[in-house]
Amino acid sequence: MHDEFPESPPPPVWTVSELNRLVKDVLEQSVRAFWLRGEVSDLTIHRSGHVYLTLKDAASQVSAVFFRGAETARNLGLQAGMEVEVLGRLSVYEPRGQYQVLVQTLRPGGLGALQRRFEELKERLRAEGLFDPDRKRPIPELPRCVGVVTSPQGAAIRDFLRVVERRFGGLHVRIAPVTVQGKDAARQIAAAIRALNDMQACDVIVLTRGGGSLEDLWSFNEEVVARAIAASELPVISAIGHEKDVTIADFVADLRVATPSAAAELVVRAKAELAETLRAHARRLQSALKLRLATLRRRFERAAGHPILREPLGVVRRYQQRVDELGVRLANAQSRVLALRQARLERNVDRLRALNPKAVLDRGYAILFDGRDRAVRDAAAVPPGTPLRGVLARGELELTVRASRPEDAAEARE
């Protein structure tokens, strides 16, 4: 006899979609939110605002998606190869049956990553010339109004106002309230700097907050803040954290001071100190005016003894006499020039008369022209019977050649 066991029911037949949905429900219900550290690869910031990325370590990788995380990714300078830490939970992308991390928060992976970002941005801005001393603007010695970009609830503004009130009560301070830490802080700080420039209601801007860690001060290491400081027409003083704290804003600002109190002491001066400075300036101005007055008095006395001032018309009379002399010399020179030119003209007239053919005809000569009105110069050119026209000093003759004797024949006959 043997025992008979009931047959087990056959396993269910699922569709792929049902399986993926089951796995998704199991993962989401059994695994709570967690922090995950890894290196970014295959990064895509979609135009929808979602961020798709892969996180990996030396042995494995996992897909992740950060819905509406594009702004955070850009603010952090997220790029492939960067180490990050994400807070998220597990889920499954059902169409591909792929499990992934749904990211809720993303931050640089530890102090080392932040420090690398700090150094990379610093070197890039340095190469662009934003740290050059030549572009630094001078800080006004006695501003009428000081613009302060800071948190209105922080200790920094209280320290600043306490020093201002003690050293120069009544100075106009315009506070531009911003968040100095957190996701939106850098954008607010840059916007406040631009707004104070647009209003032109203050003479200098103080950018300040209390001390903190590198993460706490990170808003002042953002490129948007550095660009706003560099573009500011008003001089900017950076008073961020404590003396040991250094930010990108410190390098770009026109002046960096250690603390908010030091910034207040710099932009205002004690009334007594200012009054003494004004008195010293007044004394120097009075001495300079006395010296100038004495110099002008001596110049006036020397000028009063000058012959021109003693007899002003004497100079005029000398110039009048000089003009008369020059007039006589000019008239004589004109007469000589006219005489020379008249003699030259007469000589030229005599020469022209001597060269005039009529003058030769007056001496009994005649000019013979052939039928083409060409002057006859050679007897051999006019055979017997050739009609000629003879031009005399007075009148003309119509002639006919009876015989011609060329020059050789005429010489032989002689």
* Domain containing residue 31: CATH number: 2.40.50.140
**116-to-181, 226, 252, 335, 400 alpha-carbon distances in Å:** 20, 17, 19, 98, 126
pLDDT band at residue 238 using 50, 70 and 90 as cut-offs: very high
Does 105 share its domain with 190? no
Give the least confident one: 43-52, 89-98, 304-313. Answer: 304-313
Q: How far apart are CA 132 and CA 252, in angstroms?
A: 8
**335-to-321, 329, 331, 339, 340 alpha-carbon distances in Å:** 22, 10, 6, 6, 9
- Kindly report the length of the chain: 414
Q: Is residue 313 part of a domain?
A: no
Residue 1's pLDDT is: 47
Residue 412's pLDDT is: 52
Which residues contact residue 196 at a Cβ distance below 8 angstroms, ignoring those fewer than 6 apart?
147, 149, 174, 176, 202, 205, 234
| More confident: 406 or 123 | 123
pLDDT band at residue 67 using 50, 70 and 90 as cut-offs: very high
Question: Which residue range forms the structural domain that includes residue 167?
Answer: 144-268
Does 99 share its domain with 148? no
Q: Give the other-Cβ count within 10 Å of 91's Cβ.
A: 18
pLDDT band at residue 204 using 50, 70 and 90 as cut-offs: very high
Q: Is 50 exposed, middle or buried (0-12, 13-18, 19+ CB in 10 A)?
A: middle
Please report, to the nearest 10 degrees, the dihedral formed by the alpha carbons of residues 30, 33, 34, 38 taken in order.
Answer: 100
Does 45 share its domain with 157? no
pLDDT of 54 higher than 80: yes
Q: Is residue 100 part of a domain?
A: yes
Residue 149's pLDDT is: 94
Q: How far apart are CA 140 and CA 77, in angstroms?
A: 36
pLDDT of 329 higher than 90: no
Residue 272's pLDDT is: 53
Counting residues of the chain whose pLDDT is more than 70, the rounded percentage is 92
User: Which neighbouring-strand residues pair with 45?
Assistant: 51
| Last residue in a domain, options 65, 83, 109 | 109
pLDDT band at residue 409 using 50, 70 and 90 as cut-offs: low
Residue 360's pLDDT is: 74
Are 248 and 221 contacting, i.e. CB atoms less than 8 angstroms apart?
yes
Place of tokens 């006959």: 413
| More confident: 124 or 318 | 124
Q: Which of 219, 204, 149 is nearest to 177 (CA)?
A: 149
Q: How many CA atoms lie within 13 A of 365 on its CB side?
A: 7
pLDDT of 198 higher than 90: yes
Does 161 share its domain with 248? yes
How many folded domains does the chain comprise?
3
Residue 112's pLDDT is: 61
> Residue range 285-299: average pLDDT?
89
Q: Is residue 148 part of a domain?
A: yes
Does 69 share its domain with 155? no
> Residue range 311-337: average pLDDT?
82
Q: Give the other-Cβ count within 10 Å of 150's Cβ.
A: 25
> Residue range 243-251: average pLDDT?
87
> Residue range 7-13: average pLDDT?
79
**121-to-130, 154, 225, 227, 327 alpha-carbon distances in Å:** 11, 27, 12, 12, 84
Structure tokens at 301: 């006395």
| Last residue in a domain, options 238, 268, 298 | 268
Structure tokens at 306: 């000058």
Q: How many CA atoms lie within 13 A of 185 on its CB side?
A: 20
Q: With left for phi above 0 and alpha for psi between -120 and 50, is residue 68 left, alpha or beta?
A: left
CATH number of domain containing 224: 3.40.50.2300
Mean pLDDT highest for which of 5-9, 57-61, 351-355? Answer: 57-61
pLDDT of 47 higher than 80: yes
Q: Is residue 133 part of a domain?
A: no
Q: How far apart are CA 173 and CA 110, in angstroms?
A: 38
Does 151 share its domain with 252? yes
Give the least confident one: 46-50, 196-200, 403-407. Answer: 403-407
Does 27 share its domain with 83? yes
Does 100 share its domain with 151? no
Does 81 share its domain with 185? no
Q: With left for phi above 0 and alpha for psi between -120 and 50, is residue 53 left, alpha or beta?
A: beta
pLDDT band at residue 78 using 50, 70 and 90 as cut-offs: confident
| pTM to 2 decimal places | 0.46
| Last residue in a domain, options 268, 303, 337 | 268
Residue 350's pLDDT is: 81
Pairing of strands 255-256, 236-240: parallel
Does 180 share its domain with 93? no
Pairing of strands 98-108, 172-177: unpaired
Q: How far apart are CA 160 and CA 210, in angstroms?
A: 11
Does 91 share its domain with 188? no
pLDDT of 6 higher than 70: no
User: Which neighbouring-strand residues pair with 90?
Assistant: 101
Q: Is residue 189 part of a domain?
A: yes
Q: Is residue 176 part of a domain?
A: yes
pLDDT band at residue 194 using 50, 70 and 90 as cut-offs: very high
Give the least confident one: 45-54, 77-86, 250-259. Answer: 77-86
pLDDT of 85 higher than 80: yes
Which residues contact residue 359 at a Cβ distance below 8 angstroms, ignoring those fewer than 6 apart?
353
Does 162 share its domain with 257? yes
Residue 413's pLDDT is: 55
Q: Is residue 103 part of a domain?
A: yes
What is the rounded average pLDDT for all residues in the chain? Answer: 85
Q: How far apart are CA 222 and CA 349, in angstroms?
A: 100
> Residue range 284-296: average pLDDT?
90
Please report, to the nearest 10 degrees, the dihedral formed by the alpha carbons of residues 276, 281, 284, 285 taken in order.
Answer: -140
Are 64 and 88 contacting, i.e. CB atoms less than 8 angstroms apart?
yes
Q: Is residue 231 part of a domain?
A: yes
Amino acid at 146: V
**pLDDT tens-digit profile of 123-180?**
999 999 999 999 999 988 778 889 999 998 888 888 888 888 887 777 889 999 999 9
